[in-house]
Amino acid sequence: MKNIIEIENLHFSYPADEGEKPVEVLKGINLEIKEGEFMAVLGHNGSGKSTLAKHINGILIPTSGTVTVDGISTADEEKIFDLRCRAGMVFQNPDNQIVSSVVEEDVAFALENLGVPYEEMRKRVDNALKDVNMYDYRHHSPAQLSGGQKQRIAIAGIIAMKPKCIILDEPTAMLDPQGRKEVMAVIRRMNREHGITIVLITHYMDEAAQCDRVVVMDKGNIILDDTPRAVFSHVEQVKEIGLDVPQATELAWELRKAGYDVPQDIITEDECAEAIKRLFERE
């Protein structure tokens, strides 16, 4: 598989006030993301994960190093809109990214900006709304929708651009459990059915466990980069930087510490239940 996102030796510091030393937020990130990959980025507050996300579609430009998406460098100002069509971004607060007071017009916003002709726009908006299961709400006002529904509208607005990859910056952080489930289901489907590369920034471990690959960041560096199973088997290292592991992993880890023989790479509840069942059978 081809790499869709290539990040090479990325350093970034926010411009500092006069007399102050700039604080380096990203300290030499190297990362390659393959087409169709479903990747999670984990990290504590201030680990630089949101800053990294903003580099992928050119909202922030590296202080040094390069970020390339589908062959376009994010520093290339002339191709910035091309880049943003290829790498769409969804933010945490659904309220603050919906522009219009009518659902379908909000989904069309990006297409309107790009000057897509009416017939094509109508088709893409309808399809995007169907993709996120919100077609029946197309004439509603966003104010009438739940958080999860609003976030799905925000995702539809991005899907309508037909991006190759979508970066989601903690899209479920402000939602209730039901909304989280709906949004995660939509994201997973986009990845499986449409082959869209997903970069999911999250601090929910169970969401990260559903991904193909997990990158853990701490203080501007990538410290772990592997499958969720492998990453979460480093329970102590993950806990050291202030993150949790999925509850099932934690239980298995505690059992191992207490001297029981359970496998190290448990990440789902079913696996955990199975391991405990086997323990009992052996007793």
Partner 1 sequence: MLRDITIGQYFPGDSVIHRLDPRFKLIITFIYIIMLFAGDRFICLGVGAVFTLIAIFLSRIPLKMFVKSVKPLLPFLLITAILNLFFVTSGDILFKWKFIKITDEAVSISIFMFVRIMLLIMGSSLLTYTTSPITLTDAIERLLSPLKKIKVPVHELAMMMSIALRFIPTLIEETDKIMSAQKARGAEIDSGSFMTRAKNMISILVPLFISSFRRADELATAMECRCYRGGEGRTRLRQLKSAPRDYIALAIAIVFWVINIIIG
Q: Is 81 in the site for partner 1 (CB under 8 A)?
A: yes
Over 188-236, what HEC string results? HHHHHHHCCEEEEECCCHHHHHCCCEEEEEECCEEEEEECHHHHHCCHH
User: Of the candidates 6, 35, 105, 244, which one interacts with partner 1 according to CB under 8 A?
Assistant: 105
Site size for partner 1, by CB under 8 A? 40
The closest of 75, 157, 156, 85 to 114, measured between CA atoms, is: 85
Q: Is 179 in the site for partner 1 (CB under 8 A)?
A: no
Q: CB under 8 A: which stretch of 22-30, 64-72, 150-158, 262-270 binds partner 1?
A: 150-158
Tokens 């390659």 — which residue? 32
At residue 178, φ and ψ (nearest 5 deg) are -65, -45
Q: Is 59 in the site for partner 1 (CB under 8 A)?
A: yes
Q: Is 260 in the site for partner 1 (CB under 8 A)?
A: no
Q: Is 109 in the site for partner 1 (CB under 8 A)?
A: yes
Q: Is 50 in the site for partner 1 (CB under 8 A)?
A: no
Token pair recorded at residue 251: 């239980």
With 0-12 / 13-18 / 19 or more C-beta atoms within 10 angstroms meaning exposed / middle / buried, residue 90 is buried
Q: How far is the CB of 12 from partner 1 (least distance, A)?
A: 16
Q: Is 148 in the site for partner 1 (CB under 8 A)?
A: no
Give dist(CA 109, CA 13) in Å, integer: 32
| 98 versus 211: smaller Cβ distance to partner 1 | 98
Q: CB under 8 A: which stretch of 5-13, 26-34, 67-75, 96-104 binds partner 1?
A: 96-104
Q: CB under 8 A: which stretch of 115-123, 216-224, 226-234, 250-258 binds partner 1?
A: 115-123
Q: CB under 8 A: which stretch of 113-121, 178-186, 189-197, 206-214 binds partner 1?
A: 113-121
Kindly tell me the sign of the dihedral angle through the C-alpha atoms of 47, 242, 238, 241: positive
User: Of the candidates 62, 88, 220, 246, which one interacts with partner 1 according to CB under 8 A?
Assistant: 88
Q: Is 15 in the site for partner 1 (CB under 8 A)?
A: no
Q: Is 91 in the site for partner 1 (CB under 8 A)?
A: yes
Residue 73: enclosing H or E segment and its boundaries? strand 72-73
Q: Is 93 in the site for partner 1 (CB under 8 A)?
A: yes
Report the relative pairing of strands 72-73 and 64-69 from DSSP bridges: antiparallel
57 close to 1: Cβ distance less than 8 angstroms: no
7 close to 31: Cβ distance less than 8 angstroms: yes
Residues that bind partner 1 in the complex, under the rule CB under 8 A: 57, 59, 81, 84-85, 88-89, 91, 93, 95-102, 104-105, 108-118, 121-122, 125, 141-143, 154, 157-158, 161
